[in-house]
A = this chain, B = another copy of it.
Amino acid sequence: MQRVRIKDVAREAGVALSTAALALRDDSRLRPETRRAVREAAERLGYVYDRSAALMRSGKSHTVGLLVCELTNPFYAELTAGVEEALDEAGYATMLANTSESVLRQRRMLERFREQPVDGVLLMPATGTPPALIGELQAWRVPHATVVRGFRAGAHAGPDNRAGTRLATEHLLGLGHRRIAFLGGAARNSVSTGRWDGYARSMARAGLAAEHLPCSTDIGAAAAIAQALPPESPTALVCFNDSVAFGATLGLLRAGRMPGRDVAVTGFDDVREAAHWYPPLTTIRVAPRVIGQAAARVLLHRMEQPEAPPLREILPPALVVRESCGAGLRRAD
């Protein structure tokens, strides 16, 4: 039992090969009844479209490569789901690859996308990605866009990090805090600098000193730092992201201090767990799904109009007040 080809469908329907091919693509040049006849013949024979042949001839794969820096991070997982959904709606399949923050793996996957080939690449750069990589992508002439973590130029979609930490910081200032520290953001990338900036500028505007507690995004590392915080330390922590904030609340609890009452804590991202944390986390919502959709839009635009200037979608974040900032309690002061 051989595989069924367009040729076979054509014979079955009593038309030429090219006619059958057109009919299967539902081309309007063909009479509706011809299209229907071919379609039925295909159904009868159990015809399965062969993308590899089509791709080879047409050069269009209708596939986008998506490079995720860390799939096991809920934020990026959610983002990925958003991207996939949006691309699917536009008729594109997603070829997903997880780099696990390895620049080497990222290179290999990119190379693979190039061979595949895909019609476009969406990149969430692994930490430590040399900016030169973007230049290479340009040289390869594959339409591409960066997501969340970005570089100076090129198509991009991501949250407005600066505005996010500004919201958090101003909220804490409004609650009366004066000693506010920034926890996390040890990595050197656009996200770290953006979030630090938003915090630092707000502090400067209020005439207060900024204070940096560097920390990786590991929940355990953050917990250790928070636990060791001396009593005369900051009364509020603006955390780099929710993971760090989770760690911070945990460390405070271990040290016998109640997050929200003794020390205010804010996160960034609003991952699903944030609402269910103990205590529920006050954080900055960036809606990863929405960013994913924006990323898909930006890339599709690039693919359709390669000559147009690249789009940059910087999405405004929102403050979500829950309990870890102590907003409900402070009022009693």
Contacts and interface: CB of A to CB of B under 8 A. Distances in A.
Interface of A: 48-53, 55-56, 61, 71-72, 74, 77-78, 80-81, 84-85, 93-98, 100, 112, 114-117, 219-220, 223, 246-247, 249-250, 253, 272-273, 276, 278
Give chain A's interface secondary structure class.
Answer: helix
Given A71-B77, A100-B81, A48 B276 contact: no
A115 B71 contact: no
Given A80-B71, A93-B112, A52 B117 contact: yes
A2 to B, nearest CB: 12
Contact of A278 (B72, B93, B117, B253): B253
Contacts of A81: 71-72, 98, 100
B56 A84 contact: no
Contact of A72 (B49, B94, B223, B272): B272
When all copies of this chain in the complex are counted, the total is 2
A117 to B, nearest CB: 7
Contacts of A100: 81, 85
A51 B95 CA distance: 14
B276 A247 contact: yes
A74 B85 CA distance: 19
Given A247-B276, A276-B247, A276-B250, A80 B98 contact: yes
A51 B117 contact: yes
Given A48-B114, A51-B116, A98-B84, A72 B61 contact: no
